[in-house]
């Protein structure tokens, strides 16, 4: 039985979206993954993954010695083993070659494509989760059901226990939770009105703020604006722990960042706020109930593939003109959809 090695060392959200590909490949044989240390965490307990090789490409494995060490660990054992380059850099392609994989599959738009033995069309019109899934599909295969490409994560008992401890400390027992994720590593993706939104969302349930410890200041503002009722979960849970918390939430309001994909993976109703980027890039929410909130018909959108730290035109209208009423309307629409099922 041939083995698949999936190399995905891009952003955290990309790894979450790669899980549809992992499930597809696991139906054929064992699946191993090369991942960054951060992304490796979210694959714990995943039934489609046999082993994860951590590739700290900017730290422990930054030099040629580290590169060779990872290649030795992930090496091919059979000519039928296949490497799937979910991250298309030249370094990833070179890693697959150094690991002895005679079959290497990746996108025809990737920097390392000349080292691939099979190039798959990178179809810009598709969601990235489906694009990744198509690395294992035939070229003429029809679009799969949404459930096939929707990402999946599997928090374990330790993550569930951590969430319960957090809720117990904050005296939340049986109360509805409404999650918000105000942070992003990209400055222009951070919608500026989460505090005002949280006051209104408090009418639906207890607001819980998720994110990393770098989002503590944003969380503190929300806690203050909700007169201390909001729960600050930033930096207090692992990534899988955050997914476990989101699975309990009524809805998530989030920027175009990793929590959006965590919510998709546990099918939490999602309202995603897009400013400098657009859903057409292929990174919108995939939860069954979902809405996009954005400012339409701005000529300057999109301005960047990720979202610059500062607005190139200085006005930042893509986020400043998206008001609280618009976001609340999207939250209401998602809730109506859930109730009508």
CB 87 within 8 A of CB 9: yes
Q: Which of 225, 201, 187 is nearest to 318 (CA)?
A: 187
In angstroms, the CA 255 to CA 248 distance is: 19
Distance, in Å, from the CA atom of 278 to the CA atom of 272, rounded to the nearest integer, reads: 10
pLDDT at 15 over 90: yes
Tokens of 44: 């714990």
Give the confidence band of 68 by pLDDT, cuts at 50, 70, 90: very high
* Topology agreement, domain 4-149 and domain 157-340: yes
Report the distance separating Cα 95 and Cα 81, nearest Å: 14
CATH number of 4-149: 3.40.50.2000
Question: Cis link prior to 34 (omega < 30° from 0)?
Answer: no
∠74-94-56 over CA atoms, to 5°? 60
Banded model confidence at residue 218, pLDDT cuts 50, 70, 90 = very high
CA dist., res. 19 & res. 16, Å (int): 6
Exposed (0-12), middle (13-18) or buried (19+): which is 147, by Cβ within 10 Å?
exposed
Q: Work out the average pLDDT over 309-337.
A: 96
pLDDT of 188-213, one tens digit each? 999 999 999 999 999 999 999 999 99
Instruction: Please state, in angstroms and rounded to a whole number, the distance separating the CA atoms of residues 4 and 23.
Output: 11
* Phi and psi at residue 32, to the nearest 5°: -115, 160
Q: Is the pLDDT of residue 333 over 90?
A: yes
Could you state, in order of their start, the residue ranges of all structural domains in the chain? 4-149, 157-340
| Two structure tokens written together for 142 | 């029809």
What are the tens digits of pLDDT across the range 71-90? 999 999 999 999 999 999 99
pLDDT higher than 80, residue 184: yes
pLDDT for the residue 71: 95
How many beta carbons lie within 10 A of that of residue 176, not counting itself?
Answer: 12
Question: Which residues lie closer than 8 Å to 163 by C-beta, 6 or more apart?
Answer: 237, 241, 244, 245, 248
pLDDT at 341 over 90: no
In tens, the pLDDT along 259-314 reads 999 999 999 999 999 999 999 999 999 999 999 999 999 999 999 988 999 999 99
| Of 110, 112, 105, residue with least CA distance to 133 | 105
User: Tokens representing 320?
Assistant: 């400043």
Beta-ladder partners of 178? 207
DSSP one-letter code for 50: S
Q: Which pLDDT belongs to residue 322? A: 98
Tell me, rounded to whole angstroms, the distance of Cα 96 from its chain centroid: 24
Tens digit of pLDDT for each residue in 124-176?
999 999 999 999 998 778 889 999 999 999 999 999 999 999 999 998 888 89
Residues 38 and 54: beta-carbon distance below 8 Å: no
CB 149 within 8 A of CB 133: yes
| Mean confidence (pLDDT) of the chain | 95
User: What Å distances lie between residue 40 and 25, 238, 240, 321, 339, CA to CA?
Assistant: 18, 12, 11, 37, 36
The upper half-sphere exposure of residue 282, i.e. CA atoms within 13 Å in the direction of its Cβ, equals: 17
Residues 155/241, Cβ–Cβ less than 8 Å: yes
Dihedral in degrees, nearest 10, Cα atoms 262, 264, 267, 269? 100
- Per-residue pLDDT of 265-276, as tens digits, reads 999 999 999 999
Rounded CA-CA distance 134/143 in Å is 9
> CATH for 157-340, among 3.40.50.620, 3.40.50.1820, 3.40.50.2000, 1.10.3720.10?
3.40.50.2000
CA–centroid distance for 238 within its chain: 14
């Amino acid at each position: 039985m041939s083995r698949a090695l999936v190399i995905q060392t891009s952003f955290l959200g990309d790894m979450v979206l790669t899980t549809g590909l992992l499930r597809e490949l696991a139906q054929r044989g064992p699946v191993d993954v090369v991942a960054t240390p951060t992304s490796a965490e979210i694959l714990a307990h995943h039934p489609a993954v046999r082993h994860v090789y951590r590739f700290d490409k900017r730290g422990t494995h930054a030099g040629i010695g580290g590169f060779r060490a990872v290649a030795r660990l992930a090496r091919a054992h059979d000519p039928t083993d296949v490497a799937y380059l979910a991250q298309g850099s030249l370094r990833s392609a070179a890693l697959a070659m150094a690991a002895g994989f005679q079959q290497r599959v990746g996108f025809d738009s990737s920097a390392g494509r000349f080292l691939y033995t099979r190039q798959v069309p990178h179809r810009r019109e598709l969601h990235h989760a489906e694009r990744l899934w198509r690395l294992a599909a035939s070229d003429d295969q029809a679009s799969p059901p949404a459930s096939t490409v929707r990402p999946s994560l599997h928090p374990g008992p330790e993550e569930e226990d951590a969430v319960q401890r957090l809720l117990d400390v904050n005296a939340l027992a049986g109360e509805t939770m409404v999650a918000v994720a105000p942070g992003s590593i990209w400055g222009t993706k951070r919608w500026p009105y989460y505090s005002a939104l949280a006051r209104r969302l408090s009418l639906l349930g207890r607001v819980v703020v998720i994110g990393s410890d770098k989002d503590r200041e944003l969380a503190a503002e929300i806690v203050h604006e909700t007169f201390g009722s909001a729960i600050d979960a930033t930096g207090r849970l692992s990534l899988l722990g955050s997914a476990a918390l989101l699975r309990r939430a009524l809805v998530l309001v989030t920027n175009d960042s990793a929590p959006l994909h965590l919510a998709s993976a546990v099918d939490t109703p999602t309202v995603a706020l897009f400013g400098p980027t657009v859903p057409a890039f292929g990174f919108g929410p995939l939860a069954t109930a979902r809405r996009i909130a954005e400012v339409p018909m701005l000529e300057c959108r999109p301005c960047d593939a990720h979202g610059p730290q500062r607005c190139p035109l200085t006005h930042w209208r893509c986020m400043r003109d998206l008001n609280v009423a618009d976001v609340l309307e999207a939250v209401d629409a998602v809730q109506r959809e859930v109730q009508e099922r």
